[in-house]
Amino acid sequence: MGSWACYPVTISAAICEMSRRWTQILCCVGVAFACLLSTPSIATTVFAAASLKEAFEEIATDFSAATGAELTLSFASSSILARQIEFGAPADVFVSANVAWMDWLEDRGHIQSKTRTDLIGNRLVMVAHRADTGLISLSDAPAIETLLGDGRLAMGLVAAVPAGIYGKAALAKLGVWRELEDQVAQTDNVRAAVMLVATGEAPLGIVYASDVVASEVHVVGTFPAESHAPIVYPVAATKATEDPVVGQLLSFLNTEAARDIFVRHGFTPLQH
């Protein structure tokens, strides 16, 4: 990642950006956290990036059918989930939408390094609200500006949310970030960006290809893979977990059956 000139965002900068919104979510997080702490856990708890929602819900159903074990799924931005784990939230497994937030937790001793694997990949796309928008060149700033008009470009937080980090990097690499940054509407996770476009509140957005499968937005272009750091979803057991089901789950996530589910939901297999 360090070789990407347009990918200078540090995790410390991300945390500073997040603090701006932390008071908005603190009450919700606190209530949820208190409930988790006050209720004995009878299910394996998975903290997963918001973009994984539909795929993981299907995987959870298949895993429970195969093993009899129940999964509790919690979806949010990888940045928020990582911070919750740091503060002691009782997660057994963490799945991040980029390697940086997994690295951040690993550096602080919150995951079991030997369990960490790279699970799946994704592609970064620009989407539109209108079905008749057509395709555009993502390296053509005037074309994007014309299509955007006076509207907003929906993206995840560009200093914290992986999809936003990838999106800013891609726009900067293609030389259009400065022209567009004043019109960017930043959201707390990628699904919130999708919703802004789906409801027409933003005419365009930058999201993952997998997000399009479960939404009513329309792809107008796919960013070249070389325009941003590789999109990789790592998974690992947390340091705090003592759940014997975790090993089974991690093995299941790396099976061909699980990979097929991810692909069906728009994710891309990794080249090993």
How confident is the model over 41-54, as pLDDT tens digits? 578 999 999 999 99
- DSSP letter string, 202-248: SSEEEEEHHHHHTSS-EEEEE--GGGS---EEEEEEBTT---THHHH
What's the confidence (pLDDT) of residue 35?
Answer: 42
Least confident of 24-38, 165-179, 252-266: 24-38
Q: How many residues does the chain have?
A: 272
Q: Does residue 43 or residue 82 have the better pLDDT? A: 82
What's the confidence (pLDDT) of residue 272?
Answer: 62
Intrachain domains 41-121+233-264 and 124-227 with the same fold: yes
What's the confidence (pLDDT) of residue 238?
Answer: 98
Distance separating alpha carbons of residues 250 and 115, to the nearest angstrom: 8
What's the confidence (pLDDT) of residue 142?
Answer: 82
CATH 3.40.190.10 correct for 124-227? yes
The full set of domain ranges for the chain reads 41-121+233-264, 124-227
Amino acid at 152: R
Per-residue pLDDT at 86 exceeds 50: yes
Question: 41-121+233-264 architecture in CATH?
Answer: 3-Layer(aba) Sandwich (3.40)
DSSP state of 109: T
Q: Does residue 134 or residue 227 have the better pLDDT? A: 227
What's the confidence (pLDDT) of residue 153?
Answer: 98
Distance separating alpha carbons of residues 266 and 272, to the nearest angstrom: 19
